[in-house]
Each structure stands twice: as C-alpha cells, then as structure tokens.
C-alpha cells in the first residue's frame, strides 16, 4: 500500500552509461516478517537475480525482517514511532540514507507506512510496491481478507509504482490466482504469498534489465527480453 504527493510521470531508465550487467542497487522497506525480502535475498545469493540490496529500512524495531537482513550481511536502518510522528521528516531521512548508498530503486516489501514527497522526489517512478490483490480491486491494508469476504473466484497480486493516490500508481505486473472451493482465508493468503515471492523478484529483474518504462500516459511499457 502506498501514497504520495503528485510528481507526475517521468520516463526513467537506468542512468546513461550504466552497464545493465551490473547489479541493480535497491533499498527495501519493511515493517514485518520480511518474507518477500527473504525471497529477494535468496535469489540474489543463488545468482538468479541481478540486484544488490544496499539497505533495509524498517518502520518497526521488532520486525523479523531485520534479522533476515542482518543474517545476510545487509545494512539496516530502523526508525521509531517518534521519528514517524513527522512523516515528512521520516521520509527525508530514508531518502537521504538510500541515496547515500547509491540505491536506484526503492522496493516496498510489506511496508505499512505511506510514502511522501521527499522519498518520491528522490526516486521518481522508482518506488515500487506490492499489493495482494488485482488492482484496482480491493485497495487498502486488508486486501486478502476483503477479497475472501467478497467471495471472489479470481484474485491475485499486483506490482506497481507509487504515486499520489493510495494503491493507484502505474501497474507494472499482475498475476492472477483462481480461488478454489473449500479454501479458507489462511489458505488463500498462503497462495498469495507464494505468488508474491515469484512475481516481485521477476519485476526487480526487469528493472535491472532496464525493461520497465513509465509513459506520459501513466501506463507502464515493458520491453521484450533481450536475446
């Protein structure tokens, strides 16, 4: 879930002269268990994802994802509730730290805070979010529960860029999931997370390959794989 002040849509590719064989430098924002963070860590370690996690930022000191980052030797930054009392100042701190480490993209992985102008201004069309439903359906923090309660037969996962409207940024990728009879909400959640752990790294790899472009229309174009 993400929201921010409007910055417009500025096409972006990796900086001129960047060898796309080089790992994409990303910062990851978390608030909880960090299972999507772990999926990224594992694929990077296995040589299957051309990215480098330069910093993990947590909005909660108790987030288990911090332990995952520390075990992988990744630097972490934790902000307290007191810092978030001024959300603009908090995002200024986060943006500064990410830029200091040369991050090219910001990847929100279960980050339960809204993002604001300082972060989006530093990374225009480069703040990526994961939503556990097929946007524009079931926006908000309880998408899985809401979809289940509505009795949908198909739901899924969306990866999108953050913009000024909550859960309404340009859509990069979606993957559908057929809901089987007899599933309870916990089973649905397990299947949603399984898709997330595959789709999110795929999108990060597309970003690393320079294949993702935000058009002036606000839509996202994906180049065909090279080779």
Binding site for (6R)-10-formyltetrahydrofolate, by residue number, is 129
End-to-end C-alpha distance for the chain, whole angstroms: 35
| CB distance 14 to 20 below 8 Å | yes
Residue 125's φ and ψ, nearest 5 degrees, are 55, 35
Q: Which candidate in 96, 116, 131, 213 is catalytic?
A: 131
Annotated binding site: 34-36, 129
Burial of 189 (0-12, 13-18, 19+ CB in 10 A): middle
E strands of the chain, at which residues?
A: 24-30, 51-58, 76-78, 105-108, 127-131, 154-161, 171-178, 212-214, 220-222
Residue closest to 179 by CA, chosen among 214, 226, 137, 207: 137
Phi-psi region of 160 (alpha: psi -120 to 50; beta: other; left: phi over 0): beta
136 prior amide bond cis, ω within 30: yes
Q: Provide the 8-state DSSP code for 226.
A: P
> Which positions ≥6 away from 80 have C-beta within 8 Å?
61
**Residue 116 annotated among the catalytic residues of the structure:** no
* Packing angle of the helix pair 64-71, 35-45 (nearest 10 deg): 10
Q: Which positions are catalytic?
A: 131
């Amino acid at each position: 879930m993400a929201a921010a002040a409007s910055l417009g849509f500025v096409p972006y590719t990796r900086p001129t002269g960047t060898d796309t064989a080089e790992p994409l430098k990303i910062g990851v924002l978390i608030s909880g268990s960090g299972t999507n963070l772990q999926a990224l860590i594992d694929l990077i370690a296995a040589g299957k994802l051309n990215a480098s996690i330069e910093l993990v930022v947590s909005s909660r000191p108790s987030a288990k994802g911090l332990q995952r980052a520390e075990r992988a030797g990744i630097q972490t930054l934790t902000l307290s509730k007191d810092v978030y009392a001024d959300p603009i100042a908090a995002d200024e701190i986060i943006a500064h730290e990410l830029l200091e480490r040369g991050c090219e993209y910001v990847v929100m992985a279960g980050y339960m805070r809204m993002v604001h102008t300082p972060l989006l201004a530093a990374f225009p069309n480069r703040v990526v979010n994961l939503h556990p439903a097929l946007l524009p359906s079931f926006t908000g923090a309880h998408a899985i529960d809401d979809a289940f309660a509505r009795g949908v037969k198909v739901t899924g996962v969306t990866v999108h860029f953050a913009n000024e409207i909550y859960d309404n940024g340009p859509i990069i990728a979606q993957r559908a999931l057929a809901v089987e009879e007899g599933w309870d909400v916990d089973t649905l959640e397990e299947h949603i997370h399984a898709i997330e752990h595959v789709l999110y790294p795929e999108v990060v790899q597309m970003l690393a390959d320079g294949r993702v472009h935000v058009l002036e229309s606000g839509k996202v174009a994906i180049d065909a794989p090279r080779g």
